[in-house]
């Protein structure tokens, strides 16, 4: 029996498409206006949180990131900087897997702090990868500031993702668990 069922792959694909399309067509406008990466990070972490929560499986966030990378590169072949978000997705998945499903998306303060910290760290990693390998930033200060901007956007995305999860729970829109 496969680890990911069709519902899991469909959920990961939908959240990846949401992320990739908005990243390809809306985020560049935000970047041009503000020269800050916040929107990219908000989209990324929101998609990762929703995919991980909806499927309830380890690997779903990484799968979402991989699919989003493929869609983004299909839409914008020159957007190789998105590989930073691929790395962030894998880190997000590994880190949230370590704290467990019950604590990832709980409604208590400790769960929220854990998720927001992981969100910020994962997009901070994206900022490091993008800043060093794709933007050619060479000073430690410039790299730290750029990674910090990404981390701040990731924390915002984590807050938005958690708010959406709590809103869906409050309205009893829970992932369906289908017995095989």
Domain boundaries, the chain: 6-170
Q: Write out the two tokens for 45.
A: 């972490």
Residue 55 confidence (pLDDT):
92
- Whether the per-residue pLDDT at 47 is higher than 70: the answer is yes
- Distance from C-alpha of 10 to C-alpha of 71, rounded to nearest angstrom: 14
- Nearest 5°: phi and psi at 58? -65, 145
SS3 string, the chain, reads CCCCCHHHHHHHHHHHHHHHHHHHHCHHHHHHHHCCCHHHHHHHHHHHHHHHHHHCCCCHHHHHHHHHHHHHHHHCCCCHHHHHHHHHHHHHHHHHHHHCHHHHCCCCHHHHHHHHHHHHHHHHHHHHHHHHHHCCCCCHHHHHHHHHHHHHHHHHHHHHHHHHHHHHHHCCCCCCCCCC
DSSP 101-146: HHHHS-SSHHHHHHHHHHHHHHHHHHHHHIIIIIS---SHHHHHHH
Residue 102 confidence (pLDDT):
58
Comparing 54-68, 97-111, 132-146, 147-161, which segment has the lowest mean pLDDT? 97-111
Residue 1's pLDDT band (boundaries 50, 70, 90)?
Answer: low
Per the prediction, the chain carries an average pLDDT of: 92
Residue 152 confidence (pLDDT):
98
pTM: 0.93
- Whether the per-residue pLDDT at 81 is higher than 70: the answer is yes
pLDDT digits (tens, 9 = 90+) for 92-134: 999 998 887 655 677 788 889 999 999 999 999 999 999 999 9
- Whether the per-residue pLDDT at 176 is higher than 70: the answer is no
């Amino acid at each position: 029996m496969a680890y990911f069922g069709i519902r899991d792959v469909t959920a990961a694909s939908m959240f990846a498409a949401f992320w990739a399309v908005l990243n390809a067509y809306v985020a560049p406008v935000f970047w041009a206006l503000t020269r800050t990466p916040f929107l990219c990070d908000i989209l990324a972490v929101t998609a990762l949180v929703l995919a991980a929560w909806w499927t309830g499986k380890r690997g779903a966030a990484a799968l979402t990131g991989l699919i989003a990378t493929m869609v983004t590169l299909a839409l914008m072949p020159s957007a190789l900087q998105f590989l930073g978000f691929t790395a962030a997705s894998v880190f997000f998945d590994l880190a949230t897997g370590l704290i467990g499903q019950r604590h990832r998306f709980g409604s208590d303060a400790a769960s929220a702090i854990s998720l927001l910290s992981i969100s910020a760290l994962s997009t901070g990693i994206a900022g490091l990868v993008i800043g060093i390998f794709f933007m050619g930033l060479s000073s430690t200060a410039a790299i730290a500031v750029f990674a910090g901007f990404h981390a701040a956007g990731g924390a915002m995305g984590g807050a938005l993702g958690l708010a959406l999860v709590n809103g869906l729970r409050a309205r009893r829109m829970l992932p369906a668990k289908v017995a095989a």
